[in-house]
Amino acid sequence: MAASLSPLQQYGIVTANYWAFTLTDGALRMLVVFHFHQLGYSTLEIAFLFLFYEVFGIVTNLYGGWLGARFGLRLTLWSGTLLQVGALLMLIPVAESLPKGWSVGVVMVAQAISGIAKDLNKMGAKSAIRTVVPETPDDHSQGQARLFRWVAILTGSKNALKGVGFFLGGLLLSGLGFRAAVATMAAGLFASFLFTLVLPREMGRMKRKPAFTALFSRSEGINMLSLARFFLFGARDVWFVVALPVFLQATLGWRTWEVGGFMGLWVIGYGIVQASAPALRRSWGSGRPPGPAAVQFWAAVLTAIPALIAVALWRQVVHPGVAVVAGLAAFGVVFALNSSIHSYMVLAYAGSERVSLDVGFYYMANAAGRLLGTLLSGALFLAGGLQACLWCSALLVALSWAASLRLPV
């Protein structure tokens, strides 16, 4: 059956599995946040429950790419999906009123497994696109445009569904309770795993078994893009992950469901812009696939946005809520366009033979940037509030722009 699947059918199966995984990932985060908030945990304490999620993502991306190249991308998709099912099942005892220490320990271990699962699944799904996009040797530009379009659809839909997952988590918690909600998600994700059994075994596997030293990229394009990605995602998470929810709740007096709903809507909108990036580029007359100049332009624009929000909060020219909501909307649009181009360019730079190695290295930098942003977010917010986080965000985007200046055409 695997031999008879067309590239489009393989893409559909990979995407459907990635969508199912993303729904559970977003819902799980909201389930944990709301459940532990009800138990009396502070917002900052809840944020640190996700620390292992990011730490293990760094390691997974680095070694997951090597596993995909050696044993095929089907294995990484399977491993990621089944590990997430296991992480969900681990959380069921948390609902049985475990002591606080045990609950924290179980959740942190489950989040570590979930972080490994998420990055195995993401690396496998995004690498798989590079292997199933039809080659067009007669028209290279057409093939690159198709790759950009498919990557944008997968990445944008994933982020939109993660926002839907935020809503799903709150809905399941209120309708079914924590234990039944987690069990339902585990069952649904396992059903999506069954569809991936028909994928070809050789998908993404290198003909020559890669040595362990092949983990690190020798491509200047991959290395510089990875460095730019590291700073870019650090710039987002330095104010979005910890500082923003705490600011909305503690300073502006928003209720928990309002914070979750707003952040869910932001992620959905962010995903829609990402998926629409190829169409947006065509609408302003740029029909060619993007290159380094596009990354540099959008990074330069993005640098100004957190700085302007910080100035608005400092000078109090508008209500803080208006400054943050409007600024975050602008930040989301520009960040989504930049991120979408990044996701295409890593596959354009990657060789089809070692795609999982290059993509794994790149997303290792992505995970390291998220970890840096998460840690700085908590520390800077305590030291100087949201303004300190925003100035740091502007600095990190500027460093991303500087790294992008060395991207080869």
Residue 37's pLDDT is what?
66
Contact 115/364 with Cβ under 8 angstroms? no
Cβ partners under 8 Å of residue 142, min gap 6 = 136
Contact 39/104 with Cβ under 8 angstroms? no
Distance CA 191, CA 98 (A): 29
Query: How many CB atoms neighbour CB 195 within 10 A?
Result: 14
Distance CA 219, CA 222 (A): 5
Contact 372/281 with Cβ under 8 angstroms? no
Residue 261, classified by CB atoms within 10 Å of its CB into exposed (0-12), middle (13-18) or buried (19+), is middle
Contact 353/206 with Cβ under 8 angstroms? yes
Distance CA 32, CA 300 (A): 36
Residue 234's pLDDT is what?
92
- The one-digit pLDDT tens for each residue of the chain (409 residues) are 555 677 677 777 888 888 888 888 888 877 777 777 667 776 566 667 777 777 787 777 777 666 666 666 777 788 888 999 998 888 887 655 556 666 677 777 888 888 888 878 877 776 767 666 655 555 556 666 777 777 777 777 777 787 788 777 777 777 788 788 888 889 989 998 888 888 777 665 555 555 555 555 567 778 888 899 999 999 998 888 778 887 887 788 887 667 777 877 888 888 888 888 877 777 776 667 778 888 999 999 999 999 999 999 998 888 988 999 999 999 989 998 898 888 888 877 776 556 667 777 787 888 889 888 888 887 888 888 889 999 999 999 999 999 999 988 7
Q: Which of 247, 240, 246 is nearest to 331 (CA)?
A: 240
Distance CA 249, CA 40 (A): 15
Tokens of 199: 């994928």
SS3 content of the chain, % helix, strand, coil (to 5): 85, 0, 15
Q: What sign does the CA torsion over 133, 134, 137, 142 have? A: negative
Cβ partners under 8 Å of residue 187, min gap 6 = none
User: pTM of the full predicted structure?
Assistant: 0.75
Residue 298's pLDDT is what?
92
Q: 179: part of which helix (H) or strand (E)?
A: helix 178-195
Contact 215/62 with Cβ under 8 angstroms? yes
Q: Which of 29, 131, 30, 150 is nearest to 77 (CA)?
A: 131
Side chain identity, residue 222: I
Residue 304's pLDDT is what?
95
What is the 8-class DSSP label of residue 213?
A: G
For 166-190, the pLDDT digits (tens) are 777 777 777 788 788 888 889 989 9
Distance CA 54, CA 108 (A): 11
Distance CA 345, CA 224 (A): 11
Tell which CATH architecture fits domain 2-202+219-404.
Answer: Up-down Bundle (1.20)
Measured between alpha carbons, how far is residue 120 from residues 83, 129, 172, 377 in Å? Answer: 9, 15, 26, 26
Residue 140's pLDDT is what?
56
Contact 57/367 with Cβ under 8 angstroms? yes
Contact 178/35 with Cβ under 8 angstroms? yes
First CA to last CA distance, the chain: 40
Q: 282: part of which helix (H) or strand (E)?
A: helix 277-283
Residue 302's pLDDT is what?
95
Contact 145/278 with Cβ under 8 angstroms? yes
Side chain identity, residue 89: L
Residue 94's pLDDT is what?
66
Side chain identity, residue 213: T
Q: 278: part of which helix (H) or strand (E)?
A: helix 277-283
Tokens of 297: 């332009």
Count of residues for the chain? Answer: 409
Residue 175, classified by CB atoms within 10 Å of its CB into exposed (0-12), middle (13-18) or buried (19+), is exposed
In the chain, what are the domain boundaries? 2-202+219-404
Contact 362/123 with Cβ under 8 angstroms? no
Residue 309's pLDDT is what?
94
Distance CA 339, CA 156 (A): 10
